[in-house]
Structure 1
Amino acid sequence: MAAYLIADVDITDAAVFEQYRREVPATEERHGGRYLARGGTTRVFEGDWEPHRLVIIEFPDMASLAAWYDSPEYERLKAIRFRSANTRIIAVEGIAPAPG
């Protein structure tokens, strides 16, 4: 069952974050990740949420998502992200496809 990483990224140092932005897609792809949204326009319909840069990445399953997030190759990039952005990240499982 697919799993989705949802991140709200508030970039605090654009120059440093650029390195993260350039290098992270290849690490996600190696774990089956693909972008569904990456910093596009957002619109809040309800609530007081004010997203910054919203990112949604689909992985084949939660195990693949967790393997990517915990991988040594991503650890280095996480350190760059921690220095250049404030981020809230969650993961959610998708729903099983309808039979037939």
Structure 2
Amino acid sequence: MTAYALAHLRKAPIHADVLEYLERIQATLTPFEGRFIVHGGIIDVLEGDWPGDVVIIEFPDLANARSWYRSGAYQEIKTLRTRHLAGEVILVAGVGADHSSSQMAAGLRQAHGL
């Protein structure tokens, strides 16, 4: 099942460390089949507040996503980002092509007696 690394990063002044991070991150992703599917870009906020940028990296599965994040190569460059950009980073499993929110709701109704 496809998995994603999602980062919500607050805007900050450009710093040389962040530029180095950007220059080096792809090499850490390649061994784990990671690829950017969102990397900054225009954000159209429809509800609430969203200060900052969005980054989404796709992996073939959660195991590869976890292995990338924990890898020595990524850990070596991570502080180049974290020292200058505040934000949250999560790993999340995707859903299959056959996912149905109505079937999910039916299962939740049954499980919770609703």
Q: Secondary structure at the match of 2:50?
A: coil
Q: Give yes or no for contact 2:66–2:91 (8 Å, CA) kept in 1.
A: no
Structure 1 stretches lacking a partner, 5+ long:
none
Answer yes or no: is 1:36 the counterpart of 2:37. Answer: yes
Q: Give yes or no for contact 1:12–1:86 (8 Å, CA) kept in 2.
A: no
The CA deviation at 1:9 is: 1.7
Structure 2 stretches lacking a partner, 5+ long:
99-114
C-alpha separation in 2, matches of 1:80 and 1:73: 12
C-alpha separation in 2, matches of 1:12 and 1:62: 32
Q: Partner letter of residue 60 of structure 2?
A: P
Tell me which residue corresponds to 2:19: 18
Tell me which residue corresponds to 2:50: 49
C-alpha separation in 2, matches of 1:92 and 1:75: 19
Tell me which residue corresponds to 2:66: 66
Higher fraction of helix: 2
Higher relative CO (Cα under 8 Å, sequence separation at least 6) belongs to 1
Q: Which has the higher Rg, Structure 1 or Structure 2? A: 2
Q: Give yes or no for contact 1:4–1:91 (8 Å, CA) kept in 2.
A: yes
Q: Partner letter of residue 16 of structure 1?
A: D
Aligned residue pairs: how many?
97
CA-atom RMSD, angstroms?
Answer: 1.4
